[in-house]
Amino acid sequence: MIRLAAGDWTAELRPGLGGAITALRKSGRNVLRPTPEGAGDPLETACFPLTPYANRIAGGVFDFDGVGVVIPALPAFAPHALHGDGWLKPWVVEAAGADRAVLTLDGGGDARWPWPYRARQTIVLTDDGLDVALEMENRSASPMPAGLGLHPYFPRPAGTRLTAATAGVWTGPDIVPDRLAASGEIADWTGQEVDAAAAAVALIDNAFEGWSGVAELADVEGVTRVTADVDRLHVYAPPGQDFCCLEPVSHRPDAFNQAVPGEGGYRVLTPGETMRLTMRVERG
């Protein structure tokens, strides 16, 4: 485990558990959902990286450059492939100091992703909060479809309200969406209570388009602000749970099947090309 500190902020990292952040606190208060002691599943952590794509690939299959690609699905999410392979593998500590760490992963080149790639997380604490930069380089000899995301879990005490300006939301009859609707069809997030919104639709697990890059979660003790350099925010708010996820992502769910390069955030990286995503978490 790696422990970081700066000003009122502390963080804990477990590189071997999918490169995850396992705790983030300000003045002893949990800003991210804390990881249970002894947890061995990245889904129990505070935040983990999404490489080389975010969210679902329908049926775990897609065509790229005239070739059919099959990605095995984990039993819990079958038949869909989910979040790539980066969160399922141990990361290596490239550098670590009192307030920052750099973690790397050599992923792909196997059944879960045929293209080799290198991912790097730079995790920094400052007096203002947490900064995470996630990069990915195509290390294969051919073009590679690509996407990135970060998957932070935030405490959701009763009455927590989310504010996030968005232009639309991906939705449909299945957990893999097939149409872009007005944001209000799910939630407009103009200070809407997350619990109430989740209860109204049973589950929120949707990517919102045209995001301003700023989201705020307000509770009785203060406001957590999330900023990122992408214009898509995936919101996961399961009913009856005490957390919600505000995931900055480069592309929408199932983009490899439902879009062409350049649409829905879907990138194609040439050999040696790198893409990057950043996120900041603050608490006031």
Is the distance from CB of 33 to CB of 47 less than 8 angstroms?
no
What is the reported pLDDT for 202? 86
| CATH 2.60.40.1120 is right for the domain spanning 2-283 | no
Q: Extract the tokens encoding 12.
A: 């804990």
Q: What is the DSSP letter of 84?
A: B
As a whole-number percent, the residues of the chain with pLDDT over 90 amount to 91
Residue ranges of the chain whose pLDDT lies below 70: none
Is the distance from CB of 179 to CB of 170 less than 8 angstroms?
yes
pTM of the prediction? 0.96
Looking at the DSSP bridge assignments, the partners of residue 154 are 244
Q: Extract the tokens encoding 252.
A: 């929408």
CA distance 137 to 151: 20
Q: Extract the tokens encoding 52.
A: 């080389």
Q: Extract the tokens encoding 199.
A: 């209860």
* Domain spans, the chain: 2-283
What is the reported pLDDT for 265? 81
C-alpha angle with apex 247: 171 to 80, nearest 5 degrees? 55
Is the distance from CB of 114 to CB of 136 less than 8 angstroms?
no
What is the reported pLDDT for 243? 97
Strand duo 274-283 + 222-228: pairing? antiparallel
Listed in sequence order, the DSSP H helices in the chain are: 194-201, 255-258
Looking at the DSSP bridge assignments, the partners of residue 223 are 218
**Dihedral pair phi/psi, residue 88, rounded to 5°:** -100, 0
